[in-house]
Amino acid sequence: MADQHLKVDERQFDRIVGALKHPSSDGGRLDNVLKLLRVLAIVGAGLWAVFGYLSYRQDWEELSLQREQLAVELATLSATNQRGQNALQELTLQKSADSRFRLDASLDVTEQREPVEDVGNYQADLSFSITSLTDKEFEVSYVVIEYFLGNVPQARSSERIIPVNLPPNIYNDPEHGPVRWSKLGDQAYYLGSSDWLKKGGSLPQGYEWSPSGGGTASLRSGESSSFTYNYLVSARADEWVGFVINLAVDGGRDSKNLWHIVRTRFLGHSSERVLVE
């Protein structure tokens, strides 16, 4: 076979050299894609870092808010606990004072005759006693008994249920309510041998005092003092009768030694309201 030689003319040679010097457009696009991917990777990493920082910051702010809320709740619980401790201490003090003696009182009302022109006669029997529960001697320095009649204004008399306010006492202002109490009189007694009076104590003003009676006494452990008084009451059947027993223990040096007992009775029925303070 005759030899065959590959012949390249000058124009073909120039094309081959040009192709070697200038890569094809497909290779350039691949290079550009790689560069773009590197840029996107860098941007993605930056965005992920920003997202992580923002998430951490949000978590931190939520944690800080929770800590502030917990601090507020803790302060509230501490304040509530302190109020509870104060109330418990006050209750303990009151129990300590109350355990020195026991107070008892009763009011019995009986109708003596049928009402005449809506006015009837009643007998009110008021009893009171105080009993020592402590080994330490104390005195009932004075006792003031006040008696009242109460009525409900006509404008409210048709109401089926109304609140019944108590008559006033010498230590507190009268309660507000529909029952209008009118004081009819009082009895005042003091302990003539009172150590408190000998030391300069003074009795409340505005009363005519008797030097004994009314349950005033010096009491030792287990001893009692009492009284019973009978009253004739002329009143309408739709009125209330009320008695307030005010007393001071050891001269009433503070509020824990000042007491009042209230007994009320609606004359038209056998209902009784009781309050001891």
* pLDDT band per the 50, 70, 90 thresholds, residue 1: very low
Pairing relation of β-strands 209-210 and 180-190?
A: parallel
**Interior/surface letters 85-124, b for 16+ CB within 10 angstroms, e for the rest:** eeeeeeeeeeeeeeebbebebebebeeeeeeeeeebebeb
75 and 119, same domain (yes or no): no
Identify the residue with better confidence: 229 or 88.
229
**Lowest model confidence (mean pLDDT) among 9-13, 189-193, 214-218, 250-254:** 9-13
What pLDDT is recorded for position 230? 94
pLDDT of 53 > 80? The answer is no
Q: Are residues 69 and 194 in the same domain?
A: no
The residue among 51, 72, 98 that closes a domain is 98
Same domain membership, residue 227 and residue 132: yes
Top pLDDT among 64 and 269 is at 64
Question: Given 29, 63, 98, which residue is the final one in a domain?
Answer: 98
Does 61 have pLDDT greater than 70?
yes
Q: Where a domain ends, among 65, 98, 131?
A: 98
Lowest mean pLDDT among 202-211, 220-229, 261-270: 261-270
- Please indicate, yes or no, whether residues 31 and 163 belong to a single structural domain of this protein: no
Residues 224 and 249 in one domain: yes
Q: How confident is the model at residue 207 (pLDDT cuts 50, 70, 90)?
A: very high
Q: Which of 227, 213, 228 is nearest to 123 (CA)?
A: 228
Tell me, yes or no, whether 149 and 216 share the same domain: yes
Whether 91 and 122 map to the same domain: the answer is: no
pLDDT (tens digit per residue) in 15-33? 655 554 555 555 566 677 6
What domain range is 62 assigned to? Answer: 1-98
Q: What is the pLDDT of residues 65-124, one digit of tens each?
A: 777 676 556 555 544 554 555 455 444 444 444 578 889 999 999 888 776 777 888 999
Pairing, β 258-266 against β 272-276: antiparallel
> Whole-model pTM?
0.60
Q: What is the structure's pLDDT at 91?
A: 46
132-173 pLDDT, tens per residue?
Answer: 998 889 999 999 999 999 988 876 767 778 788 889 888 887
Q: 165 and 37, same structural domain?
A: no
Reported as a pLDDT band with limits 50, 70 and 90, residue 271 is very low
Residue 272 has pLDDT above 50, yes or no: no
- Higher-pLDDT residue of 207, 277: 207
The CA–CA distances, whole Å, from 239 to 119, 157, 268 equal: 10, 11, 7
Statement: residue 215 has pLDDT above 80: yes
Number of domains in the chain: 2
Amino acid at 99: S
The candidate with the shortest Cα–Cα distance to 245, out of 224, 228, 220, 223, is 228
**Shared domain check, 131 and 84:** no
pLDDT at site 211: 94
My answer on whether 75 and 109 are in the same domain is no
188-191 LR contacts (CB < 8 Å, sep 24+): 188/142, 188/143, 188/144, 188/145, 188/214, 189/142, 189/143, 189/144, 189/213, 189/214, 189/215, 189/216, 190/141, 190/142, 190/216, 191/139, 191/140, 191/141, 191/142, 191/216, 191/217, 191/218
Taking 90 as the threshold, does the pLDDT of residue 189 lie above it?
Answer: yes
